[in-house]
């Protein structure tokens, strides 16, 4: 007699016989890691010099209190356009394949970064970032590729390497942005005679990730293999949609006729589609929603909002003049600080996070990560008091900056080993049984890789792109709101002296409280 199975039955059963690990396809896997480096490079390189760039284009007319407003708008536009398109790119990749979508995303990254470096107006900057976000569907698609080139025995090993790409980009991006901005001024002996770099002082730091993305496009085109089993071409996709439309029209006409029913005509593409088993077809969008996933996704949204608000305000605050309560740092110094954060964060995530997570457990790890945002936000008014009291950035202020950077690393604990899919949060996602693929995933009991649960939540392999796209869309929405709202509040607080200029920090502490309240809704125990 088979054991009784109901809603209380644990989804993950103890693995009795551990299968032999399948070797990773190292050549293809290395290519994917190489491609992934383009994402953090292009996103992180602009942060050190963005406030100064806004001042230089003259849109604020010398009003320092307006800088944060325009910086926030420019940062948010990328995530807004990405939120509007990433789900569509991911679903399209389920049909036409991952490779065409990745090629489109890489060329979009490259062109948009070149355009950003050549922009001399705020409209040009916004259009460049909009192009970057709209054409960039690679975030979810790359996760799908990694799931498709692995199996249950090696997927955890594959995802353990992902922090290398993100940490490398988190270190190199700000370093490049800070070091190469305004090169004619920073390195007059090398670039002092370049009229082009004097006219476009931010082209060089943008050209580095743009060129890298172009090289990644070439590598992808010639060497990356398609992982979707039976992709269709764009022409087939459009013919299929046209055939479906004609079929619907024929059925409507046939239903209105009083004579014998007419057999509807079908195309070759429809015949081919009909032969594909149901468990290998992308499922309808509504089937991607599961109640437990929605609870976890709500926490994920709160976490993203808290994190992106801090990441947006930090370089703006560092760049704000001392007389207004900021630190008045140049882009090069800001880039060094952000690079140091990326380096320390990468070291801790790679070498220590797994042990911390195993000791504290998922919920406590996630909650502590969220709670650490409270002292991080409190360091801003403390720094303002110190610099206004002394009129300069003292050693004590630098000590507070060091404390801020160190504590902010703990926020990343809520994400786990990757800044897009948090292990301590997504471990709560229940695996949904739809196909033998998921039965295979259910035996992964002690892997600490965050993506496994997202892949397991997908109805089938054919819907991996849609599932990852759904997660990334929710994150992009919060990241579209966060920078614009936080930086605009920063400007308003400074201009009108709301709550003594500290209104923005009160609101940020409120978002931390909201995130902590959402964390309390997570179950105390993971069902294993």
Instruction: Give 421-434 pLDDT, tens digit per residue.
Output: 444 444 444 333 33
* CATH number of the domain to which 108 belongs: 1.20.1250.20
pLDDT, residue 146, reads 83
Listed in sequence order, the residues at least 6 apart from 119 whose beta carbon sits closer than 8 Å to its beta carbon are 57, 125, 127, 128
pLDDT, residue 233, reads 66
pLDDT in tens, 18-34: 678 888 899 999 999 99
Please choose, from the candidates 228, 349, 371, 239, the residue with its C-alpha nearest in 3D space to the C-alpha of residue 302.
371
Contact 109, 136 (CB under 8 A): yes
Does residue 439 surpass a pLDDT of 90?
no
Whether the full predicted model's pTM is greater than 0.75, yes or no, is no
Give the domain extent around 49: 26-224+285-521
254: in domain: no
Mean pLDDT of 250-272: 47
Q: What is the DSSP string of 413-449?
A: GGTTTSSSS-HHHHTTPPPP--SHHHHHHTT--S---
Using CA atoms, how far residue 344 sits from 171, 175, 248, 339, in Å, is 9, 14, 58, 9
pLDDT in tens, 319-337: 999 998 899 999 999 999 9
pLDDT, residue 114, reads 97
57: in domain: yes
pLDDT, residue 166, reads 78
292: in domain: yes
Does residue 470 surpass a pLDDT of 50?
yes
**pLDDT class for 132, splitting at 50, 70, 90?**
confident
Of the candidate ranges 50-54, 265-269, 371-375, 514-518, the one whose mean pLDDT is the lowest:
265-269
Contact 454, 293 (CB under 8 A): no
Please choose, from the candidates 403, 397, 398, the residue with its C-alpha nearest in 3D space to the C-alpha of residue 385.
397
Does residue 138 surpass a pLDDT of 70?
yes
pLDDT, residue 116, reads 96
Half-sphere exposure of 334 (CA within 13 A, CB side): 29
pLDDT, residue 75, reads 86
Contact 450, 159 (CB under 8 A): yes
231: in domain: no
265: in domain: no
Of the candidate ranges 67-81, 200-214, 370-384, 434-448, the one whose mean pLDDT is the lowest:
434-448
pLDDT in tens, 159-184: 767 777 878 888 899 999 999 999 99
257: in domain: no
271: in domain: no
d(CA 96, CA 308): 33
Average per-residue pLDDT in the chain?
Answer: 78
Using CA atoms, how far residue 497 sits from 221, 491, 515, in Å, is 54, 10, 27
Q: What total of structural domains would you count in the chain?
A: 1
Half-sphere exposure of 294 (CA within 13 A, CB side): 6
33: in domain: yes
pLDDT, residue 354, reads 73
Listed in sequence order, the residues at least 6 apart from 385 whose beta carbon sits closer than 8 Å to its beta carbon are none
């Amino acid at each position: 007699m088979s054991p009784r199975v109901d809603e209380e039955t644990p989804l993950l059963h103890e693995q009795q016989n551990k299968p032999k690990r399948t070797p990773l396809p190292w050549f293809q896997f290395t290519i994917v890691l190489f491609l992934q480096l383009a994402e953090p490079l292009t996103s992180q390189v602009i942060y050190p010099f963005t406030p100064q760039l806004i001042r230089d284009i003259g849109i604020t007319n010398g009003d320092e209190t307006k800088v944060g407003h325009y910086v926030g708008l420019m940062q948010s536009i990328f995530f807004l356009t990405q939120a509007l398109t990433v789900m569509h790119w991911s679903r399209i990749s389920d049909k036409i394949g991952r490779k065409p979508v990745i090629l489109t995303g890489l060329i979009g990254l490259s062109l948009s970064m070149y355009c950003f470096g050549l922009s001399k107006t705020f409209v040009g900057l916004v259009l460049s970032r909009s192009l970057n976000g709209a054409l960039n569907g690679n975030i979810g698609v790359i996760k799908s590729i990694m799931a498709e080139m692995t199996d249950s025995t090696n997927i955890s090993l594959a995802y353990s390497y992902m922090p290398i790409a993100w940490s490398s980009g988190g270190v190199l991006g700000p370093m490049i942005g800070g070091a190469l901005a305004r090169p004619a001024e920073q390195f007059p002996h090398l670039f002092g005679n370049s009229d082009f770099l004097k006219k476009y002082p931010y082209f060089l730091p943008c050209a580095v990730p743009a060129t890298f993305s172009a090289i990644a496009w070439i590598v992808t085109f010639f060497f990356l293999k398609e992982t979707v089993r039976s992709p269709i071409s764009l022409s087939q996709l459009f013919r299929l949609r046209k055939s479906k439309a004609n079929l619907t029209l024929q059925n409507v006409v046939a239903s209105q006729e009083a004579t014998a029913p007419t057999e509807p005509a079908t195309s070759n593409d429809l015949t081919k589609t009909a032969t594909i088993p149901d468990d290998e077809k992308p499922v309808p969008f509504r089937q991607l929603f599961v109640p437990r996933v929605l609870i976890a996704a709500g926490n994920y949204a709160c976490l993203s909002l808290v994190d992106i608000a801090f990441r947006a305000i930090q370089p703006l605050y560092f760049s704000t003049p001392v007389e207004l309560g900021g630190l008045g740092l140049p882009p090069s110094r800001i880039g060094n600080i952000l690079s140091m954060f990326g380096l320390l964060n990468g070291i801790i995530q790679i070498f220590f996070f797994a042990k911390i997570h195993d000791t504290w457990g998922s919920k406590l790890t996630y909650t502590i990560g969220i709670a650490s945002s409270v002292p991080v936000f409190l360091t801003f008014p403390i720094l303002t008091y110190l610099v206004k009291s002394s009129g300069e950035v003292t050693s004590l202020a630098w000590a507070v900056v060091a404390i801020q950077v160190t504590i902010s690393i703990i926020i990343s604990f809520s994400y786990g080993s990757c800044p897009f899919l948090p292990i301590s949060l997504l471990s709560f996602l229940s695996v949904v049984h739809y196909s033998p693929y998921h039965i295979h995933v259910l035996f992964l009991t002690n892997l600490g890789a965050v993506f496994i649960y997202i892949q397991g939540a997908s109805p089938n392999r054919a819907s991996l792109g849609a599932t990852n796209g759904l997660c990334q869309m929710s994150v992009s929405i919060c990241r579209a709101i966060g920078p614009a709202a936080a930086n605009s509040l920063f400007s308003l607080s400074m201009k009108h002296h709301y709550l003594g200029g500290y209104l923005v920090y009160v609101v940020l502490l409120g978002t931390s409280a909201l995130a902590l309240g959402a964390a309390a809704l997570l179950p105390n125990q993971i069902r294993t």
